[in-house]
């Protein structure tokens, strides 16, 4: 069973299985239903976050974290993982002028290398109903 998490900048945060990540995104989608920021969550689920979208994602994560109830504590590590990767992506970009995007990725070796090195064009070519790379076997 593959493990997945978030990647961004020089950071990778392993969080659990693909089904656990799906549960996290179901939670996010319920929280953001009907809101503009739902588009950024959809993009994180299926593709990657563009540099100019980092602040919007960061704001969304902070808002959701501040409203977690005690029965939703299990999602805290996912939200914190996103924050870690946002900070790393910003630092990497500010230090070296290269943007390593925030995205969901397989974290098991050697599969994470494929996700880390996959050209962004491959993500951009995904159709709306196509399975994200991190969910493929």
Which tokens sit at 88? 């790393």
Is 2 a residue whose pLDDT tops 90? no
pLDDT at 37 over 80: no
* Average pLDDT of the residues in 94-110: 94
Q: Is 33 exposed, middle or buried (0-12, 13-18, 19+ CB in 10 A)?
A: exposed
Quick one: average pLDDT of 87-110? Answer: 95
34 conformational bin, left if phi > 0, alpha if psi -120 to 50, beta if neither: left
Could you tell me which of 115, 127, 122, 130 has the C-alpha nearest to residue 3? Answer: 115
Locate 63 and state its tokens: 């808002």
Which band of pLDDT confidence, cut at 50, 70 and 90, is reported for residue 59? very high
Please give the helix or strand (H or E) that residue 44 lies within, else none.
helix 38-46
Q: Is pLDDT of 111 > 90? A: no
Q: Is the pLDDT at 136 greater than 80, yes or no?
A: yes
Q: Please give the share of the chain, as a percent, with pLDDT higher than 70.
A: 100
Find the mean pLDDT for residues 20-25.
97
Average pLDDT on 18-47 reads: 93
| CA neighbor of 1 nearest in space, from 21, 31, 27 | 21
Worst-scoring range by mean pLDDT, 36-40, 46-50, 102-106?
A: 36-40
The radius of gyration of the chain from alpha carbons, rounded to an integer in Å, stands at 14
């Amino acid at each position: 069973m593959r493990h997945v998490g978030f990647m961004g900048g020089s950071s990778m945060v392993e969080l659990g299985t693909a089904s656990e990540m799906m549960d996290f995104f179901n939670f996010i989608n319920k929280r953001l239903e009907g809101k503009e920021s739902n588009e950024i969550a959809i993009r994180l689920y299926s593709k990657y976050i563009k540099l100019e979208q980092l602040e919007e994602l960061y704001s969304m994560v902070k808002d959701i974290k501040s409203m977690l109830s005690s029965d939703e504590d299990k999602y805290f590590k996912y939200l914190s993982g996103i924050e870690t990767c946002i900070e790393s992506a910003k630092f990497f970009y500010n230090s070296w002028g290269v943007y390593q995007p925030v995205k969901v990725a397989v974290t098991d070796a050697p599969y994470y290398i494929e996700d880390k090195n996959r050209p962004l064009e491959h993500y951009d070519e995904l159709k709306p109903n196509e399975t994200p790379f991190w969910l493929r076997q």
